[in-house]
Amino acid sequence: MTEGEGFRCWGCGACCRWPGHVYLTGDDAAALARELRLPDREFADRYARLAPNRAGLVLALREDGACVFLEGDLCAVYAARPKQCRDFPHAWRVEGACPERPLEKPRPGGDGANA
C-alpha cells in the first residue's frame, strides 16, 4: 500500500488494466530503458508502440489489454514508471479507473478533489 495526498493505493492493478494507452515522454522512455538496462532502441522495439495519434510512443499492451509491465497486480518497473502513471490519480483520473478513488462530482464550494 502506498499513500499520498489522502489517497491509499492497495495495489489492485485496476488502473493498469483500464483500456487506453500510457503515453511516453522522451524522459520516460530513457528512464525505462535505463531501468531495464536496455539500449533505447531495444526498449522501444520490445516495450513501446506508435501512439494512436502517431505523435509519439505508448507502452505496449498485453493480449488481455493490460500494460505490458503489469505483473500480477503490481508494476514491474514501479521506480521508473512513466509520468502519466505517477500522476494518477492525483493529476488525472477517469470514471472507474480506480475503485479506491471514484470520480466525484465537485462539491458546492469545493474544488472537486477527493483527498
- Judged by the rule CB under 6 A, the positions of this chain that interact with ligand SF4 are 16, 22, 59, 67, 69-70, 75, 77, 81-82, 85
Question: Minimum distance from CB of 55 to ligand SF4 (Å)?
Answer: 19
Query: Could you write out the DSSP letters of every residue in 51-104?
Result: -TTSSSEEE-B-TTSSBTTEETTEETTGGG--HHHHHTTTT---TTS-TTS---
Cα(18)–Cα(103) distance, integer angstroms:
15
Q: Which C-beta is closer to ligand SF4: that of 6 or that of 65?
A: 65
Cα(16)–Cα(5) distance, integer angstroms:
20
Question: Minimum distance from CB of 16 to ligand SF4 (Å)?
Answer: 3
Question: Minimum distance from CB of 41 to ligand SF4 (Å)?
Answer: 19
Q: Which C-beta is closer to ligand SF4: that of 14 or that of 114?
A: 14
